[in-house]
Amino acid sequence: MKTGVSLVVLTFWLVLANSLKCHKCLNRQGNCSETEVEVCKPGQDSCFFEIKRFTGLNADTAKQGCGRSNYCRHYPGGFRGFLFRRMHCCSTDLCLPVTYHASSEGSKNGVECQSCIGNATECGQNAPSEPCIGTQDTCVQISQRFLPGEGLEPIIKGCGNDSFKDVQVVYQIGNNFAYVDQKVCKGSNCNNRTYSVIPAGDPNGLQCYTCQDTGLGECTRDKLQLLNCTGVMDRCVHVRNQENRSVTIQKGCGTQTMCTAYLEIYHPLIWMDSFAECCKTSFCNRAAGPSAPERLPGMVALALLLARMAWK
Ligand SMILES: *[C@@H]1O[C@H](CO)[C@@H](O)[C@H](O)[C@H]1NC(C)=O
Ligand SMILES: *[C@@H]1O[C@H](CO)[C@@H](O)[C@H](O)[C@H]1NC(C)=O
Ligand SMILES: *[C@@H]1O[C@H](CO)[C@@H](O)[C@H](O)[C@H]1NC(C)=O
Ligand SMILES: *[C@@H]1O[C@H](CO)[C@@H](O)[C@H](O)[C@H]1NC(C)=O
Ligand SMILES: *[C@@H]1O[C@H](CO)[C@@H](O)[C@H](O)[C@H]1NC(C)=O
Ligand SMILES: *[C@@H]1O[C@H](CO)[C@@H](O)[C@H](O)[C@H]1NC(C)=O
């Protein structure tokens, strides 16, 4: 009995002794303190170093911890909209797979903002804070929810310049609901809120066609589904491919901001070369093919025709 117990204890210590140790922290500089160390669990065979950036925001995030080398190899790195991500790995105790220097050109302007790209837990009320640089004296917080399969980082916090504004983009494709909620504020660390949840809301009377093209022709006329719009979604939207405008990517309900704030806000959500068109009346997003909206009022159609002729 006794031997059994000590064997178990011995095995336990052997396993522990054999376990990989990694730095574990999340901040801007990527330098964990000496005590921020993690003993890896079975299956975690590497230490990762993950770098995230968001164009236009001082939100750079470096995260370290134990991970799996297989995940590291298949990490979805590169740009997705304004978000850039990369992961490096190594597999010896407390190893550092990259030499990392957070970029910080310009002088501090006296404001500090929470700076963090990640999930609701790591970038919540106690997210790390960083001094802001140059003209970036506005604290920005972006909370986002994506369509399935597009899962990126739910929260982005950082220092931004005056071109960041409060804006909300909400849309629904089929049963899937997505949004970007961007809030700005002045004053150090005022972007200290938790993830903001926008409810889908109740039906608002507008009905739109909906589809999501996966290359199987889901957006052809005969396959379109109906969708009852809810909450603040008071537009029908039609998302087309930027390069070939006769290719429909999605249809559904959305907010007007999806069409006006497209470049800054919607682009990070959809990430591929696309653009959205909004219209106001039920079923107005049926238009398929390269033609403009289905039934143009006569005068507008005539004006367009004349314009086109004049152009030629
Ligand atoms: C990381 O480095 C920065 C700048 O060199 C320093 O201010 C900060 O205290 C360091 N953080 C830790 C956790 O050691
Ligand atoms: C904010 O920064 C972007 C580049 O990140 C720049 O293009 C833009 O002009 C700046 N806007 C203001 C108001 O300073
Ligand atoms: C957020 O990330 C942390 C650290 O990587 C992880 O432990 C936690 O489960 C995640 N939380 C959510 C809500 O996904
Ligand atoms: C968040 O920031 C506001 C304004 O700076 C401050 O009044 C408040 O105490 C902060 N909340 C937390 C939880 O730190
Ligand atoms: C949408 O709303 C209409 C009219 O209120 C209703 O008849 C229909 O059942 C609703 N469709 C769905 C899918 O909820
Ligand atoms: C655009 O897409 C349509 C429909 O898929 C296709 O028939 C057409 O050839 C494409 N045009 C170009 C220029 O790629």
Position 4 scores a pLDDT of: 53
Structural domains in the chain, CATH included, are: 21-103 (2.10.60.10), 108-311 (2.10.60.10)
Position 17 scores a pLDDT of: 54
Pocket test for ligand 6, best of 220, 243, 246, 249 (most atoms within 8 A of CB): 246
Pocket test for ligand 1, best of 24, 29, 129 (most atoms within 8 A of CB): 29
> Is the distance from the beta carbon of residue 242 to the nearest atom of ligand 6 less than 6 Å?
no
Q: What are phi and psi of 304, to 5 degrees?
A: -60, -45
Minimal-distance CA residue to ligand 2 atom 1: 161
C-alpha of residue 82 to centroid of ligand 3, in Å: 22
Give the separation between CA 213 and CA 266, rounded to whole angstroms. 18
C-alpha of residue 114 to centroid of ligand 1, in Å: 16
Position 47 scores a pLDDT of: 97
pLDDT band at 138 (very low <50, low <70, confident <90, very high): very high
User: CB under 6 Å to ligand 2: residues?
Assistant: 56, 135, 161-163
Mean pLDDT along residues 135-142: 96
DSSP secondary structure letters along the chain: -HHHHHHHHHHHHHHHHHS-EEE-EEESS----TT-EEEPPTT--EEEEEEEEETTEEEEEEEEEEE-HHHHHT---EEETTEEEEEEEE-STT--SS-------S-EEEEEEE-EEE-TTTTSTT--EEEEETT--EEEEEEEE--TT----SEEEEEE-TT---EEEEEEETTEEEEEEEEEE-STT-----PPPPP---EEEEEEEEEE-SSS-TTSGGG-EEEEEETT--EEEEEEESS-TT-EEEEEEE-THHHHSIIIIIHHHH-SSEEEEEE-STTGGG--SSSSSSS--HHHHHHHHHHHHHH-
pLDDT tens digits, 179-205: 999 999 999 999 999 999 999 999 999
* Burial profile 66-88: b = 16 or more Cβ within 10 angstroms, e = fewer: bbbeeebeebeeeebbbbbbebb
Q: Is the dihedral of CA 156, 158, 160, 164 positive or negative?
A: positive
Whether 74 has a pLDDT exceeding 50, the answer reads yes
Give the separation between CA 263 and CA 115, rounded to whole angstroms. 23
Whole-number percent of the chain with pLDDT over 70: 82
Ligand with an atom nearest the CA of residue 229: 5
Minimal-distance CA residue to ligand 6 atom 13: 244
Whether 169 has a pLDDT exceeding 60, the answer reads yes
Position 90 scores a pLDDT of: 97
Q: Say whether 270 sits in a helix, a strand or coil.
A: helix
Minimal-distance CA residue to ligand 1 atom 4: 29
Whether 283 has a pLDDT exceeding 80, the answer reads yes
C-alpha of residue 237 to centroid of ligand 6, in Å: 21
Position 263 scores a pLDDT of: 54
- Return the higher-pLDDT residue of 257 and 288: 257
> Is the distance from the beta carbon of residue 218 to the nearest atom of ligand 3 less than 6 Å?
no
Pocket test for ligand 4, best of 183, 189, 194 (most atoms within 8 A of CB): 189
Ligand with an atom nearest the CA of residue 56: 2
- The overall average pLDDT reported for the chain is 84
- Nearest ligand 6 atom to the CA of 247 is 2
> Is the distance from the beta carbon of residue 121 to the nearest atom of ligand 3 less than 6 Å?
yes
pLDDT tens digits, 215-258: 898 999 899 999 999 999 999 999 988 888 888 989 999 999 98
Ligand with an atom nearest the CA of residue 82: 2
Position 82 scores a pLDDT of: 83
pLDDT band at 148 (very low <50, low <70, confident <90, very high): confident
Position 212 scores a pLDDT of: 92
Ligand with an atom nearest the CA of residue 208: 5
pLDDT band at 265 (very low <50, low <70, confident <90, very high): low
